[in-house]
Structure 1
Amino acid sequence: MAKIIPQRELRNENAKLMDAVSAGETFVVTRNGEPVAELRPVQAARKTFITRDDLARISAAGVRIDPDQFRRELDDAVDQSV
């Protein structure tokens, strides 16, 4: 749950709030009582490269996908008409 703080607190307690955000907290900043911004930790970027060891570990999990069922579920979820 995000903590609501006024703009004044953001200005006056900048360093303390940045430490709290780094620790995982989220804040909604208000101006004149109205929410105007959200201050939250940045999500870690996904890896675009996977190591050989990671691939081996994932492959060992034994997850199997039925291609026919996958196609049916895809067709149900996405409108394929032009």
Structure 2
Amino acid sequence: MPGMTAQPEITQRDLRNRSREIMDAVQGGQSFTVTRDGHEIGELIPLRRRRRFVPRGEFVTMSRTASGFSVDALRADQRDTAEQETDDPYAR
């Protein structure tokens, strides 16, 4: 695709033989395109890390544009869910 940075290509054999080195690079943020018999078969990419917290300023900004919240609607949903019977085949 135009405008995308090329990822280094590694063969299936390289992945097998140099797995520790390659996984260390992935952990460090590097991505790879994996090939087999000269054909691209997949990408090895690092997982995105989830943030553990949201800064206060960002939370305030998000809260201002959030849709309304109805405590009554939440309680009605909880009540309706709690009143449902389970289809437990082992219940007597």
**TM-score range normalised by the length of the shorter chain:** 0.5 to 0.7
1:24 aligns with 2:29: yes
Q: Which amino acid aligns with 2:22?
A: L
After the TM superposition, which parts of structure 1 deviate over 6 Å for at least 4 consecutive aligned residues?
Answer: none
Percent identical pairs in the alignment equals 39
Q: Which TM-score applies when normalising by structure 1?
A: 0.58
Higher RCO by CA contacts (8 Å cutoff, separation 6 or greater): 1
1:12 aligns with 2:35: no
User: Unpaired runs of 5+ in structure 1?
Assistant: 66-82
Aligned residues: 57
Higher radius of gyration, 1 or 2: 2
Q: Which TM-score applies when normalising by structure 2?
A: 0.52
User: Unpaired runs of 5+ in structure 2?
Assistant: 1-5, 66-92
